[in-house]
Amino acid sequence: MESVVSKHNFEELLDKHHLKKTGPRLKVLSMMASKNTATSQPDLESVMSDIDRVTLYRILNAFEKKGIIHKVFDLNGTANYAMCHSNCEEHHHHDEHLHFNCTICKNVYCLDDLNLPPLKLPDGFKMEGFTLYANGTCPKCAGAIAK
């Protein structure tokens, strides 16, 4: 589902968005790309404990603005971040996929394999972002219950 992006590609990604290639930025990207679920802000804070929260917050903000990551919320209302697909652009995200919140592990999955019909908005409405949520149990937790 998620493509594995190498470190080399992260550097290219930062170049493409005119962001300086700093250690913390590369670390945030590699952490997020290594998971098939979104990464919660507290998780990022604990992994990135060597940098201060303000710096981390700025990194996340910059990535979100540039169309590299998108923000989703888990069932606790905690901010989670997930990698965007290459069609996201600065100020214009295309993360029109289902965000599945597991009620047991509280992980948020980006389900981009579902083909959702494009939304037609009434005249005069201009959409800048769109997030769709569902909740239930993920395959991992459903398997654990069955045992």
Name the residues that contact Zn ion, by CB under 5 A: 70, 82, 84, 88, 93, 95, 102, 104-105, 110, 138, 141
**Comparison of 77 and 124: residue with beta carbon closer to Zn ion:** 77
Q: Among residues 55 and 131, whose Cβ is nearest to Zn ion? A: 131
Query: How many other C-beta atoms can be found within 10 angstroms of the C-beta atom of residue 28?
Result: 24
Closest CB to Zn ion among 2 and 51?
2
Residue 87 CB coordination number (10 Å): 10
Q: Of 51 and 79, which has the nearer Cβ to Zn ion?
A: 79
What minimum distance in Å lies between the beta carbon of 131 and Zn ion? 8
Q: Are 108 and 101 contacting, i.e. CB atoms less than 8 angstroms apart?
A: yes
Q: How far is the CB of 111 from Zn ion (least distance, A)?
A: 8
| Rounded Cα gap, residues 78 and 108, in angstroms | 11
Strand pairing report for 98-102 and 132-136: parallel
Helix 53-66 to helix 23-33 angle (10° resolution) is: 70
84 annotated to a ligand binding site:
no
Residue numbers in the known binding site for Fe cation are: 92
Residues placed in the known binding site for Zn(2+)? 102, 105, 138, 141
Binding residues: 92, 102, 105, 138, 141
